Amino acid sequence: MTTEYAAPYVYNGDGNMLDTTTLSNASHTLTARAFLSDGSSVARSISVTVQNTATPPPPPPPASPATSVSGIGALRFGDSYRNASGYNRYDTLIVGFGDADAAGATSARSLVYKGGVDVTDSPNADPGASLSGVNYQEALANGWLLKDASGNVLHASGYGNYLGDVGSLAFQQRWVQNVSTFLLVHHVDGVFIDNVLCSITGLSGAAPAKYPNDTAWANAQIAFLAYVGPAMKAKGLYVAVNSFCYGPDDGSANNAWWARVAPNVDGLMTENFEENPSDYTQPLFDAPTLSWLGNWRGKLNVITAAQSAGKDALALTYGGAGNTQMMTFGRASFLLVWNGTNGSFIYNTTDGSDPWNTAWTAAIGTPTGPMSQAGNAYVRNYSGGYVVVNPSQSTVSVSLPAGLKTLTGAAAGSSVSLGATSAAIFTK
């Protein structure tokens, strides 16, 4: 007699035993058929109830060894991810949806870029595989594209994305569904939401009929975050935003806006940290009465505002791969006020090359006290190093404590001379 069976039944062939451990817990009918010499056959069936003890899932694979340097991050969009390596060295890693799997496999906090208000066209069947949380096809079909008073569809100034109705609960729900599903499938830690602005005119140049002024728009943005933030965090996902509000050069309007945004997110980013957004070679300086470029301290206040709200501060500076002045000045300025726990300074190379450079990535531990002023410069001690920043427009000489080393490992000496808007980071 032979035995016929069909998947998922497993016939071992050893002692005519049937392995039921791979069957689902339910009633199953097993059939045996005998083939007789005249060509006929006889079948007999029996019903069995399978109740296997649940087998615990296998443990996840071990994470890649982390050699993280506290307080640094990387931003990799387009095809720039492949231009660098060693991503375990960063605390924060922000990528596009195409690099989600690679980023999720690192020990860094992996975040995937998504537009909040932005709506983009996408050829992908997966709605999560898009720059936006809700794609154009979905927004068009559901009436979620914002229009002006004349019924014209609005676009973001400068890059043409459509604008979605962030104040619509249905839009918010679809956004969470699309984005959270994608993030969880690809095992990344969270989302980085761009363009969380208090002003719609700063984004589109025209007001939507539904939100005719900046006050209405700001309220819609907060409503979006009030739903999206808790919903994403309830799924175990981290929420960071690139958020900004136009106003006085000292950052006071932005800080007030961040106070509204902060309760619903985990991290807040300030873009163009300590630099002219129109000229990445020009650092900000400390002379607010002379120019809007003199609000170096205002950018520090933004970092402090995020941390005072109990959130992670993310600071993003752009620049050339070889511009060690800008990368050191940005990181050192960040370190003057960083709380030493979470948050990151990010130096993003304008050509997409590997951003790693010890001029800004050097590990110096955690702060041992607040920053202090030394003439026109500012200093701060760290458990493994020392930071000196000269935000003035003149050269300064600053005394150094004993035992410091330069980033090349040489003895630092008793003082350091710094040119205008420059900085130095030392190790111990």
Contacts of 37 (CB under 8 A, 6+ apart): none
Which secondary-structure segment (H or E) carries 361? helix 358-361
Least confident of 61-70, 260-269, 280-289, 357-366: 61-70
Alpha-helical segments (H) within 38-84: none
Residue 181 domain flag:
yes
CB 353 within 8 A of CB 83: yes
Among the three residues 314, 347, 364, which one is the final residue of a domain in this structure?
364
Q: Are 24 and 109 in the same domain?
A: no
Contacts of 379 (CB under 8 A, 6+ apart): 371, 372, 373, 386, 387, 388, 389, 398
- Whether residue 25 lies inside any domain: the answer is yes
Q: Which of 315, 337, 364 is where one domain is finished?
A: 364
State residue 106 phi and psi, 5-degree precision. Answer: -90, 170
Q: Model-level pTM? A: 0.83
Query: Does residue 161 share a domain with residue 93?
Result: yes
Whether residues 25 and 76 share a domain: the answer is no
The whole-number pLDDT of residue 54 equals 45
- Sign of the four-CA dihedral 203, 281, 289, 390: positive
Q: Do residue 139 and residue 274 come from a single domain?
A: yes
Other CB atoms within 10 Å distance of the CB of residue 247: 15
Q: Is residue 391 part of a domain?
A: no
Q: Which residue carries 């990535």 as its tokens?
A: 361
Query: What integer pLDDT is reported at residue 57 of this predicted model?
Result: 42
pLDDT at residue 17 tops 90: no
Amino acid at 92: T
Q: For residues 119 and 174, what is the distance between their CA atoms, to the nearest angstrom?
A: 12
In this prediction, residue 248 has a pLDDT band, given cuts at 50, 70 and 90, of confident
Would you call the peptide bond into 62 cis, given omega within 30 degrees of 0 as the criterion? no
pLDDT at 123: 82
- Residue 175 structure tokens: 């956004």
Are 41 and 81 contained in the same domain? no
Q: In the chain, what percentage of residues exceed pLDDT 70?
A: 84
Q: How far apart are CA 422 and CA 330, in angstroms?
A: 9
**84 and 173 share a domain?**
yes
- 192 within a domain of the structure (yes/no): yes
User: Does the pLDDT at position 104 exceed 50?
Assistant: yes
For residue 341, being part of any structural domain is answered with yes
143 and 279 both lie in a single domain: yes
Sequence-ordered strand ranges (E) for 351-412 = 372-374, 377-382, 385-390, 396-399
Whether residue 108 is predicted with pLDDT greater than 50 in this model: the reply is: yes
Q: Determine the straight-line distance between the first and last CA of the chain, rounded to whole angstroms.
A: 81
User: Are 17 and 116 within one domain?
Assistant: no
420 assigned to some structural domain: no
- Domain for residue 340, yes or no? yes
Model confidence band, residue 25 (pLDDT cutoffs 50, 70, 90): low
**pLDDT score for 262:** 98
CATH number of the domain to which 239 belongs: 3.20.20.80
Q: Does 99 lie in the same domain as 42?
A: no
Residue finishing a domain among 364, 384, 404 = 364
User: Which pLDDT does position 122 carry in this prediction?
Assistant: 86
Given a cut of 80, whether residue 8 has pLDDT beyond it is no
Q: What is the pLDDT of residue 40?
A: 52
Separation of alpha carbons 70 and 365, rounded Å:
7
Structure confidence at residue 65 (pLDDT):
37
In this structure, the answer to whether residues 355 and 270 fall within a common structural domain is: yes
- Residues pairing with 286 in the sheet: 295
Count how many domains the chain has.
2
Q: Are residues 109 and 27 in the same domain?
A: no
Domain boundaries, position 32: 10-49
- CA separation for the pair 221, 257 (Å, rounded): 11
Amino acid at 280: Y
Bridge partners of 312?
267
Q: H-helix or E-strand containing 154?
A: none
**Does residue 63 lie in a domain region?**
no
